[in-house]
Amino acid sequence: MYRSRSGSFMSRQLQPNNRSMFISVSVLGAIIIIFLFAFKAFGEDLDNGSLVLVSIIFRHGDKTPTESYASDPYKDDKFWPEGWGQLTIKGKSQMYQLGINLRTRYKRFIGKYSLESIRVDSSDADRCLQSAAVLLAALFPPEDSQIWNPDLLWQPVPIHATPRSLDKLIVVKAPCPQYYAEKRKIDLELATNTSTIYKDLYEYLSNHAGEAIDSIQKVESLYNILEIEDEKGLTLPEWTESVFPDKMRPIATLCLSSFTYTPLLKRLYGGPLVGQMMQHMIEKQNGRIPKNKMFLYSAHDLTLVNVWQAMGFKQLLKPEYGAAIIVELHLVEGQYEVQMQYINSSTSKSPTRLNIPQCNSPCRLDDFNRIMQPVIPVDWDQECQIKRDRIEL
């Protein structure tokens, strides 16, 4: 009897007079379900009250090349009106989308912009500063009394940067003799191990690029140029078809990993940023920064790789534009726990939950702190063997 009534109802709904209404309602329902699923994907369960602090390191958006190669058909300035190494229109869109995605995930946690709740640090590169500004426009649109122009729903958010030559945190270009010495050893070791393996590829690239491509560093530089030109829709030379991207990408990835290849390199190059994030979490646990909720770092692909490897992840990483490492601190039943996610690019629909190396799930903050201590420098200048100038009082 029940089946009969159900079938009768469906039959009535599909009569000519009711069919269009039924289809409309069905389509509307499907759209609502898709929307809710998308929101759930990037905003999953973050209204449960456990999140107390989040740090996000993200790569800038799409950029123009920073250099060209000898036979590059696109080395003329006319192909890059934004200038060399600058954020593109596409890059701005990527950063705005990433900001929207982060707001979807953290809106209930961060609320509207407050000076005390967020801190933004950036590499001093133009593309990183611009990326941070565009992302913040999407992450913190003005609300209520913050609206200063009803026709422009935007508000300025402070972005802090240190000159590259003094940066010990994001690009780590401050002088560090101990790092340089260790890096030279690794570069020599990698050159010895790879020169035979990639001999034919090096010769092929050198013959066609018009200059010596005889190291993983030079392959990585060439790969970046070709990738940018390809993303822009420019036709690459025919000679690249047999090597780009498949044969060159693994070498470019290896090059990025070489900067934090040993425990010492991890400690001096990736450790400072890991240490700062750790310090913030400990301060949050101890009640020293009660109002702080979010720390943002606008950075480079190498920054993400440095932190990734310093934290013990073994898989080699080649971050896309808008990729991000997320470190969340949660308070669950009186215990502070660390959770990590990775966003592959600005178009990623949801973060990938990461299993923190050597730390059980849930990963207690005390355990996380203990695991990370070997890669966090106590006195970076001293460990770099930098002699401070004597100050006479």
- pLDDT, tens digit, for every residue of 185-227? 999 999 999 999 999 999 999 999 999 999 999 999 999 999 9
Q: Is 130 within 8 Å of 92 (Cβ atoms)?
A: yes
pLDDT of residue 350: 87
Distance of alpha carbon 21 from its chain centroid, rounded? 46
Angle in degrees, 0-180, between the axes of helices 216-231 and 249-257, rounded to the nearest 10 = 120
In a domain, 228, yes or no: yes
SS3 26: helix
- Say if residue 337's pLDDT is above 70: yes
Q: Of 350 and 254, which is predicted with more confidence? A: 254
pLDDT of residue 43: 54
In a domain, 92, yes or no: no
In a domain, 50, yes or no: no
Residues marked active site are found at: 60, 301
Rounded Cα distance, 314 and 347, in Å: 24
When mean pLDDT is compared across 35-49, 131-145, 263-277, the lowest value belongs to 35-49
Task: Name the phi and psi angles at 331, rounded to 5.
Answer: -115, 110
Please compute the mean of the pLDDT values over residues 309-328 and round it to a whole number. Answer: 98
- Say if residue 3's pLDDT is above 60: no
Rounded Cα distance, 316 and 309, in Å: 8
When mean pLDDT is compared across 86-95, 222-231, 296-305, 383-392, the lowest value belongs to 383-392
Q: How many folded domains does the chain comprise?
A: 1
In a domain, 212, yes or no: yes
| Confidence category of residue 338, pLDDT binned at 50, 70, 90 | very high
In a domain, 4, yes or no: no
Q: Is 151 within 8 Å of 361 (Cβ atoms)?
A: no
pLDDT of residue 42: 57
Q: What share of the chain is helix, strand, coil (3-state, %, to 5)?
A: 50, 10, 40
- Say if residue 109's pLDDT is above 90: yes
- Say if residue 296's pLDDT is above 90: yes
Q: Is 176 within 8 Å of 138 (Cβ atoms)?
A: no
In a domain, 174, yes or no: no
Task: Say what the pTM is.
Answer: 0.87
Dihedral sign for Cα atoms in the order 342, 344, 347, 348: negative
Q: Is 59 within 8 Å of 127 (Cβ atoms)?
A: no
pLDDT of residue 348: 86
Pair of tokens at residue 278? 């750790």
Structural domain of 251? 195-258
Please compute the mean of the pLDDT values over residues 136-152 and round it to a whole number. Answer: 97
Please compute the mean of the pLDDT values over residues 132-154 and round it to a whole number. Answer: 98
pLDDT of residue 241: 98
pLDDT of residue 1: 32
When mean pLDDT is compared across 23-27, 90-94, 324-328, 330-334, the lowest value belongs to 23-27
| Confidence category of residue 347, pLDDT binned at 50, 70, 90 | confident
In a domain, 136, yes or no: no
In a domain, 263, yes or no: no
pLDDT of residue 47: 52
- Say if residue 136's pLDDT is above 60: yes
Rounded Cα distance, 330 and 353, in Å: 14
Cβ neighbours of residue 86 closer than 8 Å, sequence gap 6 or more: 63, 64, 80, 126, 127, 130
